[in-house]
Amino acid sequence: MHNVTANGASIPALGFGTFRMSGPDVLRMVPQVLKLGYRHIDTAQIYGNEAEVGEGIANSGVKRGDVFLTTKVWVSNYKRADFLRSVDESLGKLRTDYVDLLLLHWPNEAVPLAEQIGALNEVQKAGKVRHIGVSNFNRALLTESVRLSDAPIVTNQIEIHPYIDQSVMLEAARKAGQSVTAYYAMADGKVFADPVLKDIGARHGKSVAQVVLRWLVQQEGVIALSKTVGEQRAAENLAIFDFELTAEEMAAIHGLARPDGRIVSPDGLAPVWD
């Protein structure tokens, strides 16, 4: 596996995501994926499984320092005092005195962005967070975040899969020296029946999931999150660094994007998307 370098951070290109994963599944899967060779684990306050992630890492036999750990502050904790308290709570649950990357989970206009970014910088300066970033931000919010922050913004975690064109966001990130972390890579399962993806997979002797994850990590500055509750699928998802998609195959997958391809856009949280 290669690492993606972004504004001073070195982030494993494939991470294991824990969104909508139950505590027992997290306790089972986190040690397993770390033993398989994953070194990037992604969670969030709102997922309700930080404690299990922390326990899973502790039980894995892999040193904490060898794991790139990401969590996200929920929107109700953006006021400075709440933010600082919530980060300490997250660290306690995660059984660590720092996280490698802390993100603002969604935009929240109820709290000034300057206060949010200020709190991110405060915990980073205190050594509780090594790197900071955002999630689900549009270009305007991303640009303003960079302007307000002393510490570099290293990633924007957004929805990316074959049916959504995120080229504008990718270009903005690259210009700012940032990475983009892709979630919802399997488009809620829609990719598995796609004939284009199945055909490409057949050519390489790979599954559709492997093709999609390879398409992501083969793009400059892109980190992919994979999620599964199956040990065999987790091993399969990791086996994407022994083949390469051709330029024509990459273009064919990009060509699947459509104007209505976005899946995740919750009312009250989503910004005006680019």
Catalytic site residues? 47
Exposed/middle/buried for 268, CB within 10 Å: 0-12, 13-18, 19+? exposed
Which residues make Cβ contacts (< 8 Å) with residue 79, sequence separation at least 6? 111, 115
CA distance 24 to 164: 32
The token duo for 268 is 């009250």
To 10 degrees, the CA torsion angle through 72, 21, 63, 99? 10
Exposed/middle/buried for 61, CB within 10 Å: 0-12, 13-18, 19+? exposed
